[in-house]
Structure 1
Amino acid sequence: MTAQLAASAEYLPQAQSAVQSIDWLAVAPPTVTALVALGVLLADLFLPPARKALLGWLSVAGLALALLSLLPLLDGDREAFCLQGKAEVCSYTADRFTLVVQLLVLGGALFTALLSMTAIRDSKTPAGPATAGELAATGEGAVTGDAATAGERAARGDGAAAAQPLPAGEFWFLLLCSAAGAALLPASRDLATLVVALEVASLPAFALVGLRRGEARSAEAALKFFLSSVTATAVTLLGVSFVYAATGSLFLTEIAEEVTHVDGQLQTLVETGVVLTLVGFAFKTAAAPFHFWVPDTYVGAPLPVAAYLSVVGKAVGFSGLILVTVLAFPSYGKDIWGPALAVLAALTMTVGNVAALRQGADRAFSAVRLLAWSSIGQAGYLLVPLAAAAYTDDGPRTIGSTLAYALMYAVVNLGAFAVAALLARTKPLARIADFRALYAARPVTALVFAFFLLCLAGLPPGIIGLFAKVTVFATAVDAGLGWLAVVMAANVVIALVYYLRWTALLFRSAEGAEGTEGAEGVAGAGTGAAGAGAAAAGSGEGAGAGAGAGAGVAVGGSAGGVAVLPVPVPLKVAVSLTAVVGVVLSGAPQMVLRFADMGLFGG
């Protein structure tokens, strides 16, 4: 008996060292989101079809609660799942970097939920919110090219008539699961947790892209997204395995120490691991030449999902890239990942902006394609401070410029997608040409959309976009990357062309406005829809007798009349919210730019 007690006492310290501490307050944001996802899944089993809309409101409330759980974490850094005897070695850390990224991803998920409530409701009708007669009156049934007629689209299986409604329960569960993984990733401080969080964020996104059953375009987009992401995961896991084999640890802080003392025989192994890990995350961030899946994926996905991928998906990729470079591999900055990311930044912004410049206004889904290529160009700008971090003495502080730019980009890009979703309710082909004369029909909505485009371009009154670009530009100059600063300046000029061209289209007169009866109907809708546009942007003004509580979408009738479709409250709130936040940030840009001069890791 005494011998058994002695053996137990000898084993007890070893057992205690394997026990990790848990700070439930620190892990609250991803935990709350995951619990709400399970609640939605269970509620979907019992709610009748007529009450499925409650799942959307439950999801919105859950994401809002997850955002509120960030407030208690503002007092200081908190850790969870730390090793006994090594308090500084933890798998989960809620520092300033974590909180900023969690604010971005949970806010983006909440915005996506607002957009999705309208998308799910509209998908229950064969042709969306507009009737077949209204679509014919606007000419949507006479478009040549990829979507010639509704009948041809249905025959190919990729038209609205062939698509089935979005399943509400599955949609909300997948969205919340992806958001939970996205909220976990920035807090991950070991490679195992990092990869798991990355996959939890990515796997539900595959299904979200292909959730429009019976639509070939959606299935193709999901397949491309799946194959590219699986490839990225495989490459990342191979790189992680090489790093673990060389260092014997998965914790980022321990890896940073061990790689400086790696045996010469293992040096090639760890360098290969670093390169493969970077390549894997380059897929996730849609950096060129690993960007090929983006345009088709955005076009095939429901618009709210495309908006989610353009912001939250990028935040996930960049967060992982920041963690592995700045925290795990700082000693390889100047030799490996610094030059590689600088080249990727230049290539990504150039490919994205040049491709966006070439988008034809009359091509089906050209508006979504332009936003997709624009997001690739913006990813190039986001890579600049990360590349510069390799050449500065304080790399973790330099990457604050990436977060500042990401916050600006998230707000205005989500707003641009919200306006595109608003117009897509009656213009399902989502062409750039469909935005022509938007100001005449919906002046406030046109002004809000123009503001978003100018922010992305970096022109006043989009002050926040201008200052964010200047901050990113300054990091390249300060790091001695003058050539990268020149490339960025050239790309900003290229981007100005297509952003300003799209903005000017909003204020042009309708094509063939004079002498056509249908155009007169649209022009006559200008006064009535102006109030609707104001409501959509949060002004609260009414639009006609039947739309006092919401905005309206004007559709020209066959005899010059006007049909007004009320804009649902969630969509109106989404447009209004992004517009208000964008204006506030332009008035007080220091609210996000302060992250560029702030230490985000530790302390």
Structure 2
Amino acid sequence: MTQAVDHVALLPGYLAAGTAVLVLLADLFVARRVVTLAVAAGGAVATAVAAIVVGAGSDRSTFCVGDACSYLANDRSALVAALFGFLTLGVLGLSAPLLRAGVAPAGEYCFLLACSMTGGVVLGAAGDVVTLIIALETLTLPLYVLVGMRRQTVESAAAAVTFFVVSVVATAVSLLGAALLYAVTGRLHLSTLGPALTGDVSLAGGAPVRALDLPLTSVGIALLVLGLAFKVAAVPFHAWAPPTYDGAPLPVAAYLSTASKLGGVVAILAVVTVALPPAVTGPILAALAVLTMTVGNLVALRQIRMTRLLAWSSVAQAGYILAPLGALALADGRTGDAFSTAVTAAVAYTVFFVVLELGAFAAVVALREPTADGGRIDSYRGAARRHRWIGAALALALIGLAGLPPGLAGLFAKVAVVRSLLTGSSGWLAVVVALNAVVGLAYYVRVAALLYAPDPLDRPARAVPWPVAGVLLLATAFALAIGFAPQLVLDWAAG
């Protein structure tokens, strides 16, 4: 039997993969760093634009068996692919000084970023568990190498090994969970897995029983969710994040904290909102959310290095993202108001977080030497006095992550989460979110105030490369824009 393939639906994936190939060819035949970067940047923009044109407002699909399809091009896939494309473009801009300094070869660096972007694009359109996990690994695998690209640095090598080992274990756990669910239901497509789990299955030599009543089903669901939780650095699968962020080149750390976390959220949303029963996943995600935001905020209070502070901050932010999904156990079905509000809040918070986190890392890159790491927090004392607009941008990002005005994007993100929890009758979880937000103020405001404190060393200002300045300016402008128009993000997330 032949199967028609919708190549238009696959166009964003083609462009992302083609970018990786073109980067290698440009590096081989032209061998100029500027050309290689330009090809990678052009491919990232083309991928994002194609995703919006193909997926926005449409409902295309391909690789279908009956009504179940493995690749879906719709509003959600367009949003995810566009975010990955623009994040890749931003990280390329932050990486320009690093590549100019010879810390990493431009061809291999841009190729790996394009490969990771390809995984992210396919991840947003994945319609079955196998495509989902393979896309997630395609997103993650190049990052093992990128993390270790700070030459002759023990910290970079240790970070890459830590990331690799923990990631392999998490992937094995996810695959085991998926295999157990397949053994119970015989289904892999997300749209058919959900009904199969809530229906009856026949056991050899026995009467049909409900799939959810089997211990194997609960174990499979738990393993799949917990394995995917690694990608968002949820507690207790968070230990890799601080050493990996701190040991990686700063632009790679920025990509890890934004694109990698975005991929994890997309994967969890795909299985929780379509396939897995909320009654089972809700308590798991609620527990993960409480642990993640609490541990992340408490440990962030003790940090003395900037990158580790941002790493623990991102762990806490993952807890806020998971919190609305933890309320799904009490949601009134997959089409009710509580369910749609929870999903919208999680997606919107992810978008707000990604923009603010990219702005924070862009400011750190602008304030540091190209070959340097994030450094100690006290080395940023008086940075806003030496670089007024960069310091202001970093302070805005930190205040936004804390959820305070004038960082309106972060404020509305937390309001959306709390509102979704109250709608889902999870008031206790809303209280936990509010208390953790108060704890987070301590370290966010402390660092923001340090930027404007007098510097006894009277360190001179340094020139900021224009690609880094451009990324910082765009990230800050976008953060301000969505802060003043949050409903646009909420409407897009709801789509």
Q: Give the match for residue 81 of structure 1.
A: 63
Matched, 1:420 2:364: yes
Letter in 2 for 1:389: L
Distance of 2:486 and 2:129 partners within structure 1: 34
Question: 1:103, CA displacement in angstroms?
Answer: 2.1
Q: Structure 2 residue aligned with 1:480, among 401, 425, 432? A: 425
Q: Give the match for residue 323 of structure 2.
A: 384
Local SS of the residue matching 1:81: strand
Q: Structure 2 residue aligned with 1:197, among 105, 125, 135? A: 135
Matched, 1:461 2:431: no
Q: Structure 1 residue aligned with 2:396, among 451, 454, 463? A: 451
Would the alpha carbon gap of residues 370 and 429 (structure 1) be closer, same or farther in structure 2, given more than 3 Å must change? closer
Question: 1:390, CA displacement in angstroms?
Answer: 3.0
Aligned pairs for 1:292-311 (under 5 A) are 292-311=239-258
Would the alpha carbon gap of residues 408 and 265 (structure 1) be closer, same or farther in structure 2, given more than 3 Å must change? closer
Question: 1:593, CA displacement in angstroms?
Answer: 2.5
Contact 2:322/2:346 (<8 A) preserved: yes
Q: Structure 1 residue aligned with 2:84, among 77, 101, 105? A: 105
Aligned pairs for 1:546-561 (under 5 A) are 554=461
Q: Structure 2 residue aligned with 1:47, among 30, 34, 45? A: 30
Aligned-pair identity in percent equals 41
Contact 1:401/1:595 (<8 A) preserved: no
Distance of 1:222 and 1:254 partners within structure 2: 37
Return the TM-score normalized by structure 1.
0.77
Question: 1:429, CA displacement in angstroms?
Answer: 5.5
Q: Give the match for residue 125 of structure 2.
A: 187
Q: Give the match for residue 9 of structure 1.
A: none
Letter in 1 for 2:270: L
Matched, 1:312 2:312: no
- Indicate the structure (1 or 2) with the bigger Cα radius of gyration: 1
Question: 1:235, CA displacement in angstroms?
Answer: 0.6
Aligned pairs for 1:6-405 (under 5 A) are 15-16=1-2, 19=3, 21-48=4-31, 51-72=32-53, 73-83=55-65, 86=66, 88-122=67-101, 124=102, 165-260=103-198, 261-263=200-202, 264=209, 267-330=214-277, 333-334=278-279, 336-360=280-304, 366-393=305-332, 394=336, 395-405=339-349
> Post-superposition, which runs of at least 4 consecutive aligned residues in structure 1 deviate over 4 A?
426-429
Letter in 1 for 2:82: L
Distance of 1:355 and 1:307 partners within structure 2: 20
Return the TM-score normalized by structure 2.
0.93
Contact 1:60/1:110 (<8 A) preserved: yes
Structure 1, unmatched stretches of 5+, are 1-14, 125-164, 361-365, 514-518, 526-553, 555-564
Instruction: Give the length in aligned residue pairs.
Output: 479
Structure 2, unmatched stretches of 5+, are 203-208
Question: 1:325, CA displacement in angstroms?
Answer: 1.4
Local SS of the residue matching 2:56: helix
Distance of 1:464 and 1:594 partners within structure 2: 15
Question: 1:386, CA displacement in angstroms?
Answer: 1.3
Matched, 1:503 2:442: no
Would the alpha carbon gap of residues 568 and 206 (structure 1) be closer, same or farther in structure 2, given more than 3 Å must change? same
Q: Give the match for residue 206 of structure 2.
A: none
Contact 1:326/1:396 (<8 A) preserved: no
Contact 2:247/2:373 (<8 A) preserved: no
Contact 1:79/1:90 (<8 A) preserved: yes
Residue range with higher mean Cα deviation, 37-46 or 291-300: 37-46
Q: Deviations over 1:236-259 (max 9, x none)?
A: 111111111111121111111111
CA RMSD after TM alignment: 1.6
Question: 1:488, CA displacement in angstroms?
Answer: 0.8
Distance of 1:439 and 1:210 partners within structure 2: 31
Q: Give the match for residue 543 of structure 1.
A: none
Question: 1:274, CA displacement in angstroms?
Answer: 0.8
Contact 1:403/1:595 (<8 A) preserved: no
Letter in 1 for 2:233: A
Distance of 2:238 and 2:251 partners within structure 1: 20
Q: Give the match for residue 133 of structure 1.
A: none
Q: Deviations over 1:123-142 (max 9, x none)?
A: x2xxxxxxxxxxxxxxxxxx
Contact 2:341/2:423 (<8 A) preserved: no
Distance of 1:440 and 1:420 partners within structure 2: 15
Q: Deviations over 1:452-481 (max 9, x none)?
A: 111111111111211110110111122121
